Structures are given as structure tokens and as C-alpha cells.
């Protein structure tokens, strides 16, 4: 896949209340737009992901999440860096191709 145009849409509170967003350890409702294609993405930090996985496995017996990206902490800079790196790899990690 060649270089495709992309952008990220995230919840407003990531910019309006960055400390709160970072302390939550996850950001849902994000959309990565790749040449007009909308990919819903959830971002986690490692600690919050571990908590959610443990709780889901304990209560449901499994953990499942669609497009999931783990970053060191939930900041705009980390999210943009991760998505840029995924773009450089040809989007296969998000598009499943």
C-alpha cells in the first residue's frame, strides 16, 4: 500500500483536559481516517490495558477489542507518533491486510 492520506479524530477532552485524558489511561471513540476510510481505534496505556484485560477475562472469560493501539501514555503526541509509525508500515496493523 502506498502513502495514503490520513488524519486522526479524537475526543475533544484529549486537548481540553490532557491531564485527565492521560490519567484515565485510555481513549475510546477515536477515528483514524485513511483515504476516506473510517477506522475506529481505541488507545490504551499498558497499565490500563492490563487492568481491562484482567477484568474482562475474569468476568467474561475473554478480552476482545477492535483496532487497539497501546502507547506509553495517553497524549496527543504519543497517539500521533503511533499512528504515523503505523502509516509508515503500510497500515496493515489497522486494516488487517
Task: Provide the pLDDT confidence category of residue 96 given band limits of 50, 70 and 90.
Answer: low
H or E segment to which residue 13 belongs: helix 13-16
pLDDT digits (tens, 9 = 90+) for 35-80: 888 999 999 999 999 999 999 999 999 999 988 999 999 999 999 9
pTM: 0.87
Could you tell me if 9 and 36 are in contact, meaning their C-beta atoms sit under 8 angstroms apart? no
H or E segment to which residue 94 belongs: helix 92-95
Amino acid at each position: 500500500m502506498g502513502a495514503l492520506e490520513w488524519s486522526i479524530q479524537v475526543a475533544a477532552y484529549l486537548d481540553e483536559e490532557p491531564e485527565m485524558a492521560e490519567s484515565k489511561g485510555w481513549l475510546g471513540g477515536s477515528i483514524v481516517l485513511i483515504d476516506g476510510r473510517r477506522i475506529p481505534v481505541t488507545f490504551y496505556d499498558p497499565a490500563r490495558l492490563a487492568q481491562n484485560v484482567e477484568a474482562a477475562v475474569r468476568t467474561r472469560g475473554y478480552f476482545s477489542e477492535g483496532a487497539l493501539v497501546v502507547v506509553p501514555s495517553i497524549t496527543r503526541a504519543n497517539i500521533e507518533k503511533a499512528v504515523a509509525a503505523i502509516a509508515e508500515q503500510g497500515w496493515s496493523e489497522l486494516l488487517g491486510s
